[in-house]
Structure 1
Amino acid sequence: MPEMRFHIRWPDGRAEACYSPSLVIKDYLVPGQSYELADFLARSRTALQIASDRVAAKYGMPCSRALNQLARIEAAARPFADSPQPRVTVDAFDE
């Protein structure tokens, strides 16, 4: 399965490299695009769950790395939940 990294920038400017076990993330996020926090979280949840499900279909178990990445994204987003109009920017993809 082709894995990839997607690079994001949080509302405070902090950069983070994130993991996906599938290229499906490209269907949900676009480099250079800025997303409202809730939209970014929804897109990430959907894409990483699909990616994990693809791993499960191929190998018989969900992808713990994808699910752990999602948990890290959700934890990192919490401090921004009460900020006015927080946005997350997708900087780049690495395949």
Structure 2
Amino acid sequence: MPVMHFRIRWPDSTEANCYSPSRIVGEFFTPGADYPLDDFVARSREALGIASERVREKYGFACSSAMDQLARIEQEAERFASDPHARVTVIEFN
């Protein structure tokens, strides 16, 4: 399976490298675009869920790394939940 990493910038300007076991994230995000926090989390949830299911279809088990990445995204997003203008930028895919 083709792995994809994507770099993001949180509302406080910190950056993070994220992992997906599938290139599906490329269908949910555009490098250079920024997304409202809730939208970013929802897109991440859907993309990483699909990626994990693709691993299940191929190998017979879900991808725990994709679910761990989603958990980190959700946990980090909680820090900005009180800011209605919080946005996350997708910097690049690699």
TM-score (norm 2): 0.99
The answer to whether the aligner puts 1:14 opposite 2:53 as a matched pair is no
- Residue 84 of structure 2 corresponds to 84
Secondary structure of 1:80's counterpart equals coil
Distance 2:39 2:84 in 1: 14
1:14-65 CA-to-partner distances (Å, cap 9, x unmatched) read 0000000000000001000000000000100000000000000000000000
Distance 2:27 2:92 in 1: 14
After TM superposition, give the deviation of residue 4 of structure 1 in Å.
Answer: 1.1
- Residue 27 of structure 1 corresponds to 27
Q: Which runs of 5+ in 2 are unaligned?
A: none
Q: State the number of aligned residues.
A: 94
Amino acid at match of 2:77: A
Secondary structure of 1:8's counterpart equals strand
Structure 1 consecutive aligned stretches of length 4 or more whose deviation exceeds 3 Å: none
The answer to whether the aligner puts 1:62 opposite 2:28 as a matched pair is no
Identity %: 55
Distance 1:2 1:59 in 2: 14
Q: Which runs of 5+ in 1 are unaligned?
A: none
- Residue 46 of structure 1 corresponds to 46
